[in-house]
Amino acid sequence: MASLCIRSLENLAHGYVPVWLLSITVASVSQTAWALPPVTPLAAEATPELNLLAPPAAARGSAESTVPPDGGTRLDERADQSENSYSYRIALGASLAMGDPGWGTELGGIQELHGRAQVLPWLGVGLAYFNLTASNNEGYSPFQLQALELNSSWHPLPDTWFDPFFQIGALGIVGVQSNAYEHGPEPRWGVQGQLGANVVLPHFAIGVHARLGQAEREWTLFGLQVEGRI
């Protein structure tokens, strides 16, 4: 009987020893797992680097967007305008015209010097001095009239090779050389208009015109003009 009890105890001891060892092992693994730091995914670790890189990229984009896409084209257009060889601001020239002077015989002429400033590309303001002469059939010295003209002119095609214009001016008669047959105008004021066109080269122009004037009498003449332009 005693031997049977001893064997039963040995059998119980041999059966519970593996269970007891397994319990100790599971408890140790659980404690070790709680002690370790949590595992972070690779994608989560890469996210802060991408976020750090994002602001500089956005800053570059905003800096580039401040430059207008057509800025280069506008600069080129302004350069082309400044380099236009037909544009000018000051014109100095001379004119000759022949026709009916209104005094003397039916053939007379005008010699003129003029200057003009282009206050706008299509608008000019100028000053001219001219001498109108009218011969006669009696052997006397020709009739002469000198006048200053303050004028303005319209140029509908500015800064091109073809320059049509219309000009109107007020006259102040500054001198008259009358003769026995012809006498100077009274009062000593007048008006004159011109219609013409120029062919323009760099810093130079040549053209034709017709003019109609009135200072007590009327004159109608046709002529040529040349100009230097700067």
For the domain that residue 142 is a member of, what is the CATH number?
2.40.160.20
Give the chain's mean pLDDT: 78
80, part of any domain: no
pTM confidence score? 0.63
pLDDT in tens, 111-120: 999 999 999 9
As for how many domains the chain has, the answer is 2
Residue 96 identity (one-letter amino acid): L
Pair 33, 123 in one domain: no
Q: Is residue 3 scored above 80 in pLDDT?
A: no
Looking at the DSSP bridge assignments, the partners of residue 123 are 120, 154
Q: What is the pLDDT of residue 99?
A: 96
Q: Which residue's entry shows tokens 């595992």?
A: 39
- For residue range 199-211, list pLDDT tens digits in order: 999 999 999 999 9
- Using only the alpha carbons of the chain, give its radius of gyration: 52
In a domain, 98, yes or no: yes
Chain centroid to Cα 191, Å, comes to 37
Residue at 81 is within a domain: no
Residues 55 and 115 in one domain: no
pLDDT tier, 43 (very low <50, low <70, confident <90, very high otherwise): very low
Residues 112 and 195 in one domain: yes
What residues make up the domain containing 177?
90-229
Residue 225 within any structural domain of the chain: yes
Q: Is the pLDDT of residue 171 over 90?
A: yes
Q: How far is CA 79 from CA 73, 83, 207, in A?
A: 10, 6, 29
Q: Which residues of 2-26 are buried (b: 16+ CB within 10 A; e: fewer)?
A: eeeeeeeeeeeeeeeeeeeeeeeee
| Residues 104, 183 share a domain | yes
